[in-house]
């Protein structure tokens, strides 16, 4: 009887440890949950949306190294990514890739141009009709920039309410955690679950 009890305890312990290890591996290399904390990606993502992030699509990062292996693809224009905030790597940000390495990007009166052509941005939202002139405030106008190698230029979809590459520069590809995949939960922060958003693919 005691042997059966010990065996049962051991089996439970092994199952729990295995489950924990699998959860850690999945979180580190495959899928990670992320909560939208601000309105910078409205209307695509709302405050209170909970999303899953695909962590392996841009390659698996080797522990204690900046190298990546099994790279399926590089970030592309239009991808919504989660990354380490360059000014505070302990925080994660989420924005949309607007330009990739070697692209020339600029903004004229709120219109973004990539390689000389106006970007087709059906997802972008402007809440302020006032256009700020060229100068220190780069919200609506900034000069042509060429994106360096292994960097991306990102912006929030809520253009007038986003702190992004216009202000603090580029995102290093090695600092990207993954690409937003799907909304698995959403609520308004008070009492209403937004059932119509659950299960939506993020794009």
Nearest to 71, CA basis, from 60, 82, 55: 60
Q: Give the phi and the psi of residue 78 in degrees, each rounded to 5.
A: 100, -20
User: Cβ-count burial of 173 within 10 angstroms (0-12 exposed, 13-18 middle, 19+ buried)?
Assistant: buried
* CA separation for the pair 27, 38 (Å, rounded): 23
Q: What are the C-alpha distances in Å from 19 to residues 22, 23, 90, 114, 191?
A: 5, 6, 27, 46, 32
Is position 162 annotated as part of the catalytic site? no
Is position 95 annotated as part of the catalytic site? yes
Of the candidates 40, 107, 165, 186, the residue annotated as catalytic is 40
Both tokens of 157, joined, read: 């979809």
Of the candidates 6, 38, 74, 95, the residue annotated as catalytic is 95
* Catalytic (active-site) positions: 40, 95
């Amino acid at each position: 009887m005691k042997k059966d009890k010990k065996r049962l305890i051991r089996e439970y312990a092994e199952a729990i440890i295995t489950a924990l290890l699998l959860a850690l591996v999945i979180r580190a290399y495959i899928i990670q949950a992320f909560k939208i904390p601000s309105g910078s990606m409205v209307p695509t993502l709302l405050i209170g949306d909970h999303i899953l992030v695909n962590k392996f699509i841009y390659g698996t990062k080797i522990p204690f190294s900046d190298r990546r292996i099994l790279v399926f693809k590089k970030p592309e224009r239009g991808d919504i990514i989660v990354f380490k905030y360059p000014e505070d790597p302990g925080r994660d940000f989420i924005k949309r890739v607007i330009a990739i390495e070697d692209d020339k990007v600029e903004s004229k009166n709120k219109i973004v141009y990539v390689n000389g052509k106006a970007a087709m941005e059906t997802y972008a939202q402007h809440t302020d009709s006032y256009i700020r002139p060229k100068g220190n405030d780069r919200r609506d106008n900034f000069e042509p920039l060429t994106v360096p190698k292994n960097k991306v230029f990102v912006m929030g979809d809520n253009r007038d309410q986003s702190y992004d590459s216009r202000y603090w520069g580029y995102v290093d590809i090695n600092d990207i955690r993954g690409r937003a995949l799907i909304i698995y939960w959403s609520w308004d922060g008070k009492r209403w679950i937004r059932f119509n958003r659950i299960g939506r693919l993020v794009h």
